[in-house]
Structure 1
Amino acid sequence: MDTALIVVLVLVVALGLLFSGMESRLRRMDRRLTAMDRRLGLIIDHLGAHPGDGGPEPALQRVAALLRDGKKIHAIKAYREITGADLREAKEAVERMAEGR
């Protein structure tokens, strides 16, 4: 085999290993950041440190109104539309709002 071909193959394999390791590390960091964000939300709720302490933020008034009307699923959907949260985050946030009423 030609030496140049061997060098190219080694470089391709090394780059593949490098990128797969970086991708795995980024996924772990993303999971940790999501968990930390969730914990921070729980701490803020526990301390009652909401912006202005005048109830939910103005953007979330629609969510609060849906909760008052007993429309929890609609409230979760509205929360997702407003904040861009995924289903799990929206469900947890809406449940926290419902408990805080």
Structure 2
Amino acid sequence: MEYLLPALLLAVIAVAMITSASDRRSKALDRRLQRLERKVDLLLAEAGVQEPEDPRLAEIDDLLARGKKIQAIKVHRELTGSGLVEAKEEIERRMR
């Protein structure tokens, strides 16, 4: 019984370290992906090429026309897999 507490504490510390390392790798990959997306956007703009718009985004435009911003954000997240903040920013760009 006296060895149970130190073993449990060691296990908790190990899990915390693994989680922390995984989180750092995830953040680094996310930053790298964002840089790559900016570069691709710049290349497309320089070449004068526009990315074709997904026809399913017409549903979002319809929701926005009816003043249903929250539903539009939900649909955007379902279609793109984006996070809440990213979806909200994109919907607000579409509203302009």
Length-normalised TM-score, structure 1 = 0.55
TM-align CA RMSD: 3.5
1:39-78 to 2 correspondence within 5 Å? Answer: 39-48=35-44, 53=49, 55-59=51-55, 62=58, 66=61, 77=73, 78=75
Q: Choose 1 or 2 for highest CA Rg.
A: 1
Q: From 20, 25, 32, give the equivalent of 2:28.
A: 32
Q: Is the 8 A contact 1:60 1:79 kept in 2?
A: no
Q: Which residues of structure 1 form unaligned runs of 5+?
A: none
Provide Cα deviations, 1:8-38, integer angstroms capped at 9, x if missing partner. 2221111111011112222222222222222
- Once the two structures are aligned, what percentage of the paired residues are identical? 23
Q: Which residues of structure 2 form unaligned runs of 5+?
A: none
Length-normalised TM-score, structure 2 = 0.58
- What residue identity is the alignment partner of 2:82? A
CA distance change for structure 1 residues 45 and 14 in 2, over 3 Å: closer, same or farther? same
Structure 1 outlier segments of 4+, above 4 Å: 92-95
